[in-house]
Amino acid sequence: MAILPFEHIWCPPTLGFFKLNVDGYWSKNPSYMGIGGVLRDHEGRWVEGFSACFVGGDPLRVELLAMKEGIQLAWTKGITSLICETHSLEVVQSLDNYVESPLHPHKDILSIIEEFLRKDWQVSIVHVFREANMVSDKLSRLEDSSSSRTFLWRSPPPSVKVLIDQDILASNLHLC
């Protein structure tokens, strides 16, 4: 078993916080997008996950949609302290430098995310390496092109459970 550098593994949040990992998957041909995300507690336990598929879009749009869906999920669950992780540096930079502009191609999604970030809770959005975001990556690729509705996962699907277990084991070995 190869030991990954600390920054390449998923680490649980501190006590009192929840962690949201989100990802988007985009395929140009055929034009297809998938989003996925997972909320976990300070011990790495699954709280809830989501996945959805859409037609069209672009790489930034799908990553922003995943962030929007995840933040909305955390808010509706009553979470008040949240760390959001994405491996899309462009999403982190877009939100850090957000200025409402009618010309931005994704102003519709950015404005919704910004509205949630201004609510009464503690939220930080952080860039992580892809290797620390494998659960949400897998969720974003669960295909159900028959519907564009978001599917909520009360427990991890079987194909994701092994990744959850690997994250917990790796974080314990590295003493995050």
Which residues fall within 8 angstroms of residue 168, CB to CB, at 6 or more apart? 12, 43, 44
Q: What is the DSSP letter of 130?
A: G
- What was the pLDDT predicted at 173? 80
Q: Which of 162, 163, 165, 134 is nearest to 8 (CA)?
A: 134
- d(C-alpha 47, C-alpha 45), whole Å: 6
- d(C-alpha 76, C-alpha 78), whole Å: 5
Question: What is the tens place of the pLDDT at every residue in 42-85?
Answer: 999 999 999 999 888 899 999 999 999 999 999 999 999 999 99
- d(C-alpha 169, C-alpha 1), whole Å: 12
Per-residue pLDDT, averaged over 24-38, amounts to 88
Percentages helix, strand, coil for the chain, rounded to the nearest 5? 40, 25, 35
